[in-house]
Amino acid sequence: MPVGARYNGGMSAETWKFAPAYELPHWPFVAPPDLGAGERIRYPVVIAGGGLAGLTLACDLALRGVRAVVLDEDDTVGVKGASSRGICYAQKSLEIFDRLGIYERIRAKGITWSVGRTFSGNDEVYTFNLQDDSASEQPPFINLQQFYLEWFLVDRIRELDTTDLRWKSRVTQVENEADAVVVEVETPAGRYALEADWFIDATGANSRIREAMGLEVNPSRSTDRWCITDVRFNTPFRTERWTWVDAPFNEGRAVWQHLMADDVWRLDYQMAEDCDPEAISRPEVAGARLRAQLGPDVEFEFVWIGPYQYRDHLLETFRVGRTLFIGDSAHVVSPFGARGGNNGIQDAANLGWKLALVLAGEAGDELLDSYHAERHPAAVENLTVCRRTARFLAPRSRAEHRIRRAVCALARRHEFARRLANTGRMSQANAYPPSPWVKAGARSVQNVAFDGTTLMHCLAGGTRFLGLAFGADAATLVRLDELAALFPIDFRRVDAAGPLAAHLGAAAGTVVIVRPDAYVAATMAEATPEAVAAAMRDALGMDERARLAAAA
């Protein structure tokens, strides 16, 4: 859709206005030292793809002192044009961004929300308030156009001045060798090859790197069709997530209504499966849908009209030798529930500290297997959740329509049936299953404020675990502190009657070991230095390494 054009609809007298195009930043291509160098230069981490996942990882690594190279084929942020992909950023992502130092910009620019309402016809059938379960300094959600988030990340990465951001640099070939990954790059000034200790594919859903390596993702494409219509108007709708299962103003099909920055509303309309995508995205057709929803008097400008079908896929293994896959290249889900971008961000946060410890020699490279062991099940869970929502929103038979009608009818009167109205289960920090690294499984800790600090503030310096010693006496702390010389962990006495103890359900005497990504590695009711040391050996994969060595 051309932005800035004016179109006088043939079917009505209304003149449709288009908002002026966003002015996105552009960064210059700078010829890298590799061009013209006699031999290949070796780097600790090379990240292909400067989207949400790749930039989050680069920023995370920069704060850990790891100098990554980022190769991006474009020279700006966002998808081509003004369309925003992701708009909803979940609490866990916002906590990560707090640690990375861009949360305040996100909060100032974005729209904070926690309430979602689901309608059937004209009746509200389900309401949730995610704030009810929150103990975090960050809200459950902030909505923001994806390109702003990427922009803030690039600004922050440049400010940290540790990462080598290479624009207009396209990966053309990848060779997985035993002790290095050789990456060939095409640039405006010619081609070169570099070597990476660790190579990260963050090039998105259509990754050619993944394809060239012959890796299967078992894709599935929906027949369900939608049309995003981002429009700017300043009628004060509530800043809540409103969804209709069957909107009277959209021929009984689903509709999404959500605000993002700059007074831009995302109105997403479910279309007939057999519709013509070109026809339904014409301004006069999209405009007629908007008039049916907004009435005749609201003045609006189009920002973006984009028809789409969703799809999903899942890579079987997220680590292949020295190559790791993060974000959409590893997993794609339908858009319901904001589980796409948020999970790319969380992949990056899961991987960053592990790479840093492996590169520093504080953990063996088997620790990187835990990235797959944790993020692959998370992706499976997200896929399952999103497929269930998609099924609710697009019944495939008369029987399915009948079942959904029964849910919506009963939901008008009964609490239990409201829980079945499924227009999206919003992204949460996935719990991780038991593994050699976390014997009891791992769950995320929210960014609770306690004792004059916050969890994220405690985790922001370097790559150290945090031992939370609830109500510990001075002698216990002295004993625990001796472990700080043996493992990357610092201990801290925490008030056993405070908010963090309440959040974790920790009684006095308990020690909770929190990983650098704010997941609990272990909880010990009686923390002896020996027990804490064993938990740290698990978390770093030291015993796993010994076991594998023995098996070999």
- Contact residues for other proteins, defined by CB under 8 A: 402-403, 405-407, 409-410, 414, 416-417, 420
Tokens for 250, please give them: 């959209």
CB closer to other proteins, 326 vs 411: 411
Tokens 């020996």 label which residue?
A: 530
Least distance CB 395 / other proteins (angstroms) = 12
Q: Burial-class residue 50 by CB neighbours within 10 Å (0-12, 13-18, 19+).
A: buried
Distances in Å between the Cα of 245 and the Cα atoms of 119, 267, 394 are: 6, 14, 10
Q: Report the distance separating Cα 510 and Cα 366, nearest Å.
A: 29
Least distance CB 421 / other proteins (angstroms) = 12
Least distance CB 402 / other proteins (angstroms) = 5
Tokens 């995320």 label which residue?
A: 444
Least distance CB 413 / other proteins (angstroms) = 11
Least distance CB 443 / other proteins (angstroms) = 22
Least distance CB 330 / other proteins (angstroms) = 30
**CA angle, residues 498, 502, 507, in degrees to nearest 5:** 85
CB closer to other proteins, 52 vs 407: 407
For helices 341-359 and 91-100, what crossing angle results, to 10°? 40
Q: Report the distance separating Cα 505 and Cα 376, nearest Å.
A: 28
Least distance CB 296 / other proteins (angstroms) = 35
CB closer to other proteins, 221 vs 414: 414
Q: Report the distance separating Cα 97 and Cα 445, nearest Å.
A: 15
CB closer to other proteins, 400 vs 473: 400
Contact residues for 542 (Cβ-Cβ < 8 A; gap 6+) = 363, 364
CB closer to other proteins, 390 vs 408: 408
Tokens 């100032």 label which residue?
A: 108
Q: Report the distance separating Cα 472 and Cα 497, nearest Å.
A: 12
Q: Report the distance separating Cα 28 and Cα 62, nearest Å.
A: 21
Least distance CB 399 / other proteins (angstroms) = 8
CB closer to other proteins, 97 vs 392: 392
Q: Quick one: which of 246, 261, 266, 267 has its CA closest to 125?
A: 246
Q: Report the distance separating Cα 361 and Cα 339, nearest Å.
A: 33
Q: Report the distance separating Cα 355 and Cα 463, nearest Å.
A: 10
- Please give the biggest Cα pair distance in the chain: 82
CB closer to other proteins, 320 vs 421: 421
CB closer to other proteins, 213 vs 420: 420
Least distance CB 400 / other proteins (angstroms) = 10
Q: Report the distance separating Cα 62 and Cα 130, nearest Å.
A: 32
| CB of 142 closer than 8 Å to CB of 94 | yes
CB closer to other proteins, 80 vs 398: 398
Least distance CB 420 / other proteins (angstroms) = 8
Least distance CB 414 / other proteins (angstroms) = 8
CB closer to other proteins, 13 vs 399: 399
Tokens for 358, please give them: 């492996």
The 3-state DSSP composition of the chain as helix, strand, coil percent (nearest 5) reads 35, 30, 40
Tokens for 548, please give them: 């594998």
DSSP 8-state assignment for residue 412? T
Q: Report the distance separating Cα 481 and Cα 470, nearest Å.
A: 14
CB closer to other proteins, 123 vs 482: 123
| DSSP run (H or E) holding 531 | helix 529-540
Least distance CB 79 / other proteins (angstroms) = 40
| CB of 4 closer than 8 Å to CB of 20 | yes
Distances in Å between the Cα of 157 and the Cα atoms of 35, 128, 171, 212 are: 23, 36, 21, 30
Phi, psi of 459 (to 5 degrees): -90, -5
Q: How far is CA 541 from the centre of its chain?
A: 26
CB closer to other proteins, 275 vs 410: 410
Q: Report the distance separating Cα 182 and Cα 197, nearest Å.
A: 9
Least distance CB 244 / other proteins (angstroms) = 20
CB closer to other proteins, 245 vs 469: 245
CB closer to other proteins, 333 vs 411: 411
Least distance CB 384 / other proteins (angstroms) = 15
